[in-house]
Chains A and B, each alone.
Chain A
C-alpha cells in the first residue's frame, strides 16, 4: 500500500465483513431533499430528487462530489481525454476531474508527476438551467470561467463544463455553500436535482 493510500476514498475495499461506501459532504442535504441514492463506483450518489423536472425548468442544482479529483504538479502537459476536465490553478498546479470509474486510468496517464488524490477534499456543486447564470452572479463576482476566487465569502473554483456550472469548494464548506446556492436557486424557482437529471439537462 502506498504511503498516501489513506488519502484516496477509492482505496477502500471490502474487508473483514465491512463494505465501505463513500459519502459526499452533501449527502445529508440531499437526503433532506428526499433524494434517491445509488451506489456507483464505491460512492452513494444522489440519482434523483422529487420535483427535479420543475427545478430544471429554471435552475437545477446537484452534487457531483463523487467525482475523482487529482492535484497534479506541474500542470503541463494537460490531459486530453474524454470526460476529463482540467482546471489550471497556476503554472505549476492543476486539478483534474474525472468519473471515479476512470480514476485509475487517469492517474496512470498523469505519469510520474507529483499527483495527489484529493477526491475527498472537495464538494462539487453543479447547476444548470436558464437561471444558472443568475445564480452564479448572486454568489460570486467570478465571471471569466473557469476561475478561482471568492464565492459567497469562501475560496473556491468555478468551472463551466458543457452547459453546466460547477462550483468547487473545500468539502468542509460544502454544506454551507450548498445552502447558499439552494437559497439563490429556490428564489428563482429552482431546487435540487439528481445527477442523472442534470446529466440529461447538461452534460455532467
Chain B
C-alpha cells in the first residue's frame, strides 16, 4: 500500500470504505477515490497494454486525458479509471491483452515486430495471397484495438437528454472560469459553469495553497447565482451556441447566448526514449496522487520540466516523502540526451547526458498547451507562438470568448526539442497509437508530408486522447524533420466529441414516434397483428388467413379502420376553382353531396397522391388523401395558394376525424340498425356524401367502394370512434360483421384493379401510363399543376402501361419482380395476391405498352424460372360495378 497518513485537503473520506473487484480480487478504497487511485494505492502499476506493441502502461495524466488507464468497468470497455469515481461493487477488468495484464503474450510484438510494423504495414505486408486477407484481418483486429464490446449486451443504464438555455455558459470551472462567471452574473446574466473535474476549482484543487482559493471562488459564484455543474464535460461547440455536455448518463444540450471557454491547459509529455515507461507521468498526475488521494507515487523521483508545473509537482512529492533526486528545468538548460530506462516496463533509472540517476518516478512537463480544442472545433484559428512553443487561439467565433490559460496565459515555458534523446528504448510521440518520431519520418519519406495526411496514414492523433497529448509533439516532429516551422505544418482538424462519449448517450433514450388511430387498442383487443405503414401502426389482419377476412366482406359485412386517410378541408369562395388547379380533373362542377376520385400530379406530371373529394356545400370540399400523403398534400395546397392567392382556406383534419369503412352486402342493413337516416340506394347513391347520425354520433358517410362492395365510409370525430366501432360490432354480430385489416383490403382492392399510390406507382408514374387518362381534363379554364408535362407524355407516345394480370399456372411472382419480354427486363410486378373469391393469382404490373392488351403475355421470374402471365384489362371482380351500386 502506498497510501499516506491523512492529509489536510485530501479528497478521500477514510470513514467511508468502498470495496470493488479488479480481475476478480477485492480492492479496498475510500469514498472520493477514483478506480485508478484506488488501484494505485493498492499497488497496481500496470493499468493497460498499448495499442500496437502491447507495452505496459501506467497512470500518466490522472485527469482523464490519456488512454493509459482504460479498463473495462461493469462491462463497459475503454473507461478511463483515473477519472472514474469508485463505486461499491464495481467489477473492473483489464483489457487488450493475451494472458494477463502483467504478462501479456502479445508484448512479443514490442520485442520482435518493430522492424516489420512501420506505418501502414498491414496495407503492404498482408496483401498476398489476396484470399487470405480475411484471416489476416481477423488476426490484426484481434491483435490491435482496445476494449471489446459485448455484442449481445443490451443497454442497461438509463440515459436522458435535457435541454438547457442559458445566457452565459462557462466551460471550465478553474480560477479564470469562475471569475468570468462571477463577473457575468454580477452584470445580471444567467450563468452556468460546467467543469470536467469532480468539483469546480481546476488546477487550484491540486495546489495546497489553491484549495482555499477555489472554495472561496465557488462560494462567491454560488452567492452570485451561478449554477455550477461538475463533473460535466462539454463535448463540442456547435452553431448558434449549442453545446452538448455529458454529465454521467445525462446529456445536457445547452443553448447559450454567450460561451466562455476557460478550459485551462493540457499538460504535454516530452519525447525521449522510454517516455512511456510505467512511472513516467505528468505533473498533475503526481500532484493529484499526493494532494487528492494521499498516495505516495514513488520513492525516488526525477523532474524534467518546461515550466513551473514540474516544480510544483516536485514540491508536492517532497511533502509526501518522495526523494526528488534530480530536477531539470528546461528553461535553464536543455540536455540533448535524456533516456528513461526500465525493467519489465517499469522505470528504474533516468539517464541525463550519460549520467544515470536511479528513480521509479519521472515527472515530465513539456510546454503546456492552451486547451483550445473546443474553440478550434467551433471555428477559431489556432496559431503557433514559437517563443513559448504553444498554440494560441485567435479569431474566435461570434459570441465565444476565451479566458485564462486557455487563451494562452501560461507564462513563458521553455520550448522543448522535438526529441530529447536519440538512442535506447522507443520514444513515443503518440501513446494511444504507439507512434514514434521514426514512424512519422517514415511517413514523410513515403510522401505523407502533411500532418493531416499523416494523421490518416500513421493514425497519429487519432487515438482516444484525440490529440491532446500528441498533437503538439507530432507537429513539432514534422517541423523538425521537414525543416520548417510549426505554423507551416499547421494543426489537424479538431472535431467533436472533445472526449469519447458512449454512443448511447448521444443517441439518447430510444423513442419511436408512432401514430395510432383512436381505435388502435380496439384492434389489439381483437387480436390484430399490427404493422407499420409509414408513421402509422395499423392492423395487418385479425386472423391467420387474410383471405377469410376478405371473403367476409364479399359475403357479409366487414369493418376496416381507415382513420389514417388524410383529411383536408378546403373551403372558401374559390375552393372549387382551387381544386381545379391542383387536380387534373374538374371539381368546380361537382354537385353538393357528391364524391369524385382524384389524383394529384406534381409539376413534372408525376403522380404524387390520390383520394376522394366530396362537396359538402357550395364553398366547402372534403378532400381525402392517402395515409402517408396527408401532411405533404396539406403543404402542397398551401404552397400553391401562396402563388395563386385564391380566396380559400385549408385545414388538416386528419387526426381530428376517425374513419371506418363499413363494406359488404349486409352493410346497409347494419347502418339502418344504428341510424334513423335513410341508407337506401335512392337516399345515398354510389358516390354520394351525406351527413348522417350513427349510434348518436354525427358522421359524414361517403358511399365509395375501394374494396369493391356496397359500402359506407364513415368519417366522425375521433373521440367517438370507439363508441361507433363497438356499436357496429355489437349490432352487426348476427349479420356476420367482422373487422378486416390492410392485407385483406389489398386483396379486395386488387380484385377491383384499384391502384395504391406508391405501391403501383413510383416517382416516374404519370396519368397516361398508369392507365388513368380519363382523369385528364385539358378543357379547364386554368392550367392545372402538371398539365404541360402530362401532355408531353401523351405527345411523345406511351412506352409502358400499368395493367392487370393473372397467373394461369397459379405461380405467385414477387412484388417488384422483373417482367421479362424476349429475355430482357421490360417492367415489374407492382402488386400480386391470391384471390380466394376468384381462385386466381392476380396482380398489377408495369409492362411495355405493346403488351397492354387483353390477353397479352409476358414472363416473370418465379423461383428462378420464367413463368407466363396473361394481361387482363378492366376489373377482375364485378366488372360492371353492380355490387358497388346495389
Contacts and interface: CB of A to CB of B under 8 A. Distances in A.
Contacts of B723: 12, 18, 20-23
A171 B696 CA distance: 22
Interface stretch (A54-62, A75-83, A172-180, A193-201): A172-180
Contacts of B517: 172
Interface in B481-523: 509, 511-518, 520-521
Given A3-B620, A20-B696, A143-B165, A12 B717 contact: yes
A22 B514 contact: no
Interface stretch (A104-112, A133-141, A159-167): A133-141
B509 A176 contact: no
Interface stretch (B66-74, B376-384, B649-657, B796-804): B649-657
Interface residues on B, range: 35 or more
A16 B160 contact: no
A9 B617 contact: no
Contacts of A118: 653, 656
Interface in B720-766: 720, 722-724, 727
Given A12-B696, A16-B696, A18-B674, A4 B162 contact: no
A48 interface: no
Contacts of A86: none
Nearest to A138: B162
B691 A1 contact: yes
Contact of B160 (A1, A65, A71, A184): A184
B429 interface: no
B676 interface: yes
Contacts of B253: 141
Given A1-B691, A7-B717, A172-B515, A121 B698 contact: no
Select the residue from B255, B571, B719 with max chain A CB neighbours within 10 A: B719
Contacts of B326: none
B691 A3 contact: yes
A154 B513 contact: yes
B825 interface: no
A153 B512 CA distance: 9
Nearest to A144: B165
B696 A14 contact: yes
A194 B715 CA distance: 31
B162 A137 contact: yes
Contacts of B163: 137-138, 140-141, 143
A121 B160 contact: no
Chain A interface residue bracket vs B: 35 or more
B518 A171 contact: yes
Contacts of B695: 15-16, 18, 20
Contact of B717 (A18, A65, A119, A187): A119
Contacts of A73: 649
Given A22-B717, A143-B163, A172-B517, A12 B657 contact: no
B719 A43 contact: yes
Nearest to B658: A120
A12 B722 contact: no
Contact of A6 (B161, B563, B691): B691
Given A9-B720, A12-B717, A21-B723, A121 B656 contact: yes
A153 B513 CA distance: 7
A2 to B, nearest CB: 8
Residue among B160, B563, B620 with max Cβ neighbours from chain A (10 Å): B160
A114 B691 contact: no
A155 B669 CA distance: 42
B591 to A, nearest CB: 14
A152 interface: yes
A28 interface: yes
A3 B622 CA distance: 10
Contacts of B571: 114
A183 interface: yes
Contact of B718 (A3, A11, A25): A25
Contacts of A28: 521
B616 interface: yes
A168 to B, nearest CB: 12
24 contacts: A1-B698, A6-B717, A7-B656, A8-B717, A9-B719, A12-B697, A12-B717, A18-B695, A18-B696, A20-B720, A24-B719, A27-B521, A119-B719, A120-B655, A120-B657, A120-B717, A141-B253, A143-B163, A152-B513, A153-B511, A172-B516, A172-B536, A172-B654, A176-B516
- Considering the complex of A and B, which 10 residue pairs feature the smallest CB-CB distances, nearest first? A121-B656, A22-B719, A15-B696, A120-B717, A18-B696, A120-B718, A172-B515, A18-B695, A141-B163, A9-B717
Given A6-B717, A172-B517, 13 more contacts: A12-B723, A20-B720, A22-B723, A116-B653, A120-B720, A121-B655, A137-B162, A152-B513, A170-B515, A170-B655, A171-B518, A172-B518, A183-B509
